[in-house]
């Protein structure tokens, strides 16, 4: 399981720089409405620039299952991150088609914890549970990448009720607050996009280096 994920990589230069900064996972965003959408024309070049010891995560939002699997195979993705309203049946279809491990995102909106538990229970019954979950901040009509923090307090006891082994914490994480977030939640990994950017889709090497160093220290690695 990766520990320090930086999402929204849009250029070869940023892919190389984020690995050098200490990220052990990079997210490629294939949601066309996102400001961090990765153009299909350069996706292969970006993928090739990522070293073999870093995980490559493809982010999708309510995309066609066949297209997701095709993209995953074409780019040799290590993970599929689902950030939309995908159902347990959707995960079952991915499993049937031989997709990589799934990272399912949930936003801390109204009744999010109950909805997550019910969702995972239904997945378990279908034998299609995600390999990990990601908890993000909530903003109406937005599928992540908003910079809004998740509810750390409500996640403090996640290991006692979550049926999934790994929880990735996202939502407004920056070099300045990632250590506090890790101390409060004790997640399996942390994920940032806007927290290490100059502008959406353009990363800052200095911020990324500080983010990764602070996360590593807080995790006791």
Task: Give the 3-state secondary structure of residue 79.
Answer: strand
Global pTM? Answer: 0.94
Query: Residue 1: what pLDDT?
Result: 95
Query: Residue 140: what pLDDT?
Result: 47
Pair type for strands 197-199 and 202-203? antiparallel
Confidence category of residue 137, pLDDT binned at 50, 70, 90: confident
Q: How many domains is the chain partitioned into structurally?
A: 1
- Cβ–Cβ < 8 Å for 108, 171: yes
Helix H or strand E segment including 205: helix 205-218
Confidence category of residue 27, pLDDT binned at 50, 70, 90: very high
Average pLDDT over residues 50-73: 97
Question: Please, where are the H alpha helices in 50-177?
Answer: 65-74, 88-96, 112-126, 152-155, 158-161
CB-based contacts of 156, cutoff 8 Å, min separation 6:
184, 185, 186
Range of the domain at 98: 4-218
- Cβ–Cβ < 8 Å for 24, 2: yes
Helix H or strand E segment including 103: strand 102-107
CATH number of the domain encompassing residue 160: 3.20.20.70
Per-residue pLDDT reduced to its tens digit, 80-119:
999 999 999 999 999 999 999 999 999 887 788 899 999 9
Task: Give the 3-state secondary structure of residue 5.
Answer: strand
């Amino acid at each position: 399981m990766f520990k320090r994920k930086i999402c929204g990589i849009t250029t070869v230069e940023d892919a190389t720089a984020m690995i050098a900064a200490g990220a052990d996972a990079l997210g490629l965003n294939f949601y066309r409405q996102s400001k961090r959408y990765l153009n299909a024309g350069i996706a292969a070049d970006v993928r090739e620039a990522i070293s073999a010891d870093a995980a490559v995560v493809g982010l999708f939002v309510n995309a066609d299952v066949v297209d997701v699997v095709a993209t995953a195979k074409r780019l040799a993705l290590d993970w599929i991150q689902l950030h939309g309203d995908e159902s347990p049946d959707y995960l079952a279809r991915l499993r049937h088609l031989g997709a990589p491990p799934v990272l399912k995102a949930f936003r801390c909106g109204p009744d999010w914890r109950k909805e997550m538990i019910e969702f995972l229970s239904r997945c378990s019954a279908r034998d299609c549970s995600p390999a990990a979950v990601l908890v993000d901040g909530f903003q109406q009509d937005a599928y992540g990448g908003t910079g809004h923090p998740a509810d750390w307090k409500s996640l403090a006891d996640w290991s006692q009720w979550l049926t999934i082994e790994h929880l990735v914490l996202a939502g407004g994480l920056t070099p300045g607050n990632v250590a506090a977030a890790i101390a409060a939640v004790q997640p399996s990994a942390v994920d940032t996009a806007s927290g290490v950017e100059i502008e959406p889709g353009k990363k800052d090497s200095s911020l990324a280096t500080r983010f990764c160093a602070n996360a590593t220290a807080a995790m006791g690695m």
